[in-house]
Structure 1
């Protein structure tokens, strides 16, 4: 499963996965504005189960392990909460701003790794976190100056809460990609997220009349993105691939302008520079972990 692959190829696959995911974000923002976050996410994942299940069951596959099942369940539940918070917030703030705020997740994952895995947090990481936090404050200050209203502030808070969930996801993603293949990851994540949303669907989800093309399109992009990222993290350490996350800001800025006519404010740009700069400084200061060491215990 972990055949030798060029780090550059794995990084390119990760960047492609982020670009595809950004396209899905743009479609989902339109859906959330039209039919609501719960309805859009429930039906997207239902379609995703079918789209990811066909290739998963069409070929021979290794038996499921207990460790793999536990990781699928944990990541699926966390993804359910993370996705609702993110897309609820995304409908209330510009795409570039939401993505900039979500970029604090890789830095949060370093602190979670220290807490959960006993890794040491150096002074560089602490200083980098202060820089990134300053970027968050700059973006929120920009919201206040633009008088976007309390709904936009609640949206920003939801995106930050989603980033915390995504930081946990980053910790799980590395271990998951070492135990299972990209196809299995894509199928079980869609299945578990759809199952969790199905619990409240009779009361909270509506029939998405006339929106099936967008739902199927978003589901296709989500499955492709999950497969690309799963493949990339299976062939390169997270420390190598982490910077690929920051290309999402570029895609979000372009798509937000083209699809929704959103402008990129100086506040958002300045905050993004601080967040991305702080996170990159923290990540590049860490020793690259060989593949054999990178898997979590």
Structure 2
């Protein structure tokens, strides 16, 4: 049977102004998707630099400190109390400090795990973070999940078990660092959502790396080892640059396209991680990593589809 003509919107039925607005919206979405893909490519590059530094013997805490110290310096050029005095005024300063510390801890855990695990393994496990957010959103935000969503979350966590394979002799202890990172990042995401109701984006950006840098600065004399090669300094600068550019592109992407349109393209980071892992370190993910990643990604996409349908209902 043919599709009724009334079910398909015709471009000719739109006024020139409406047609122009529809075309502009489509172009914005395409640009937003491209920016999202660029952002995750930068994040994968950040991981590659962090792994290179860890393998070269640079303490992951030093790398994390340099990543956020340089990021704070770069952000302060554009967002600072001199240009915008109100940027330092937070209605929930405690939450801002907690968010900054959680992000610092998440990055440090990731760099520690990358010393031993493949990039594809760490990012596949980290894809479980949205599942953890959905699970914690009930008790912490009052956003309770349906039985179908809880089932999808459970399936996603089974995918993580496929990746790490606990109890079968294949699990590397560093996988526990990635699992801890998932939990820490989930709390970071929930705190970020709570702060959106109180503080501006500029204020949150200003505090993003501040608490972690302030906490680590007094400890540097005990953990600092000056890199002996200029390439190590270049990699630490690249870590900060890729992180800052990635978050900048992320903001630009969300300004041009809805979150539900952009979210599926986050998973393209796995392709970048596999590619960079092979080119730089000769790593190829095993079949269990790929299988587990597909399960986790499938669960995440299902939750995303459920959220989209719920908003349209």
Report whether the alignment pairs 1:102 with 2:126.
Answer: yes
Q: Deviations over 1:171-219 (max 9, x none)?
A: 234455674346x655532333211222422222322332211111111
Query: C-alpha distance in 1, partners of 2:166/2:280?
Result: 22
2:67 alignment partner in structure 1: 44
2:20 alignment partner in structure 1: none
Report whether the alignment pairs 1:154 with 2:173.
Answer: yes
Structure 1 SS opposite 2:86: coil
Q: CA RMSD in A?
A: 2.8
Tell whether the 8 Å contact from 1:101 to 1:160 is kept in structure 2 after alignment: yes
Please say which structure displays the higher CA radius of gyration: 2
Report whether the alignment pairs 1:90 with 2:135.
Answer: no
Q: Deviations over 1:107-166 (max 9, x none)?
A: 111112212111121112111112112211211239956x5xxxx622111101101111
Tell whether the 8 Å contact from 2:53 to 2:235 is kept in structure 1 after alignment: yes
2:283 alignment partner in structure 1: 262
Query: C-alpha distance in 1, partners of 2:266/2:151?
Result: 21
Query: C-alpha distance in 2, partners of 1:256/1:161?
Result: 22
Paired residues for 1:210-249 under 5 Å: 210=229, 211-233=232-254, 238-249=259-270
> Structure 1 residues 118, 181: closer, same or farther in 2, change over 3 A?
closer
1:53, CA displacement in angstroms? Answer: 2.0
Tell whether the 8 Å contact from 1:14 to 1:241 is kept in structure 2 after alignment: yes
1:123 alignment partner in structure 2: 147
- Match for 1:21 among 43, 48, 56? 43
Query: C-alpha distance in 2, partners of 1:237/1:66?
Result: 27
Tell whether the 8 Å contact from 1:80 to 1:196 is kept in structure 2 after alignment: no
State the TM-score, normalized to the length of structure 1: 0.83
Aligned residues: 281
Identify unmatched segments of 5+ residues in structure 2. 1-23
State the TM-score, normalized to the length of structure 2: 0.79
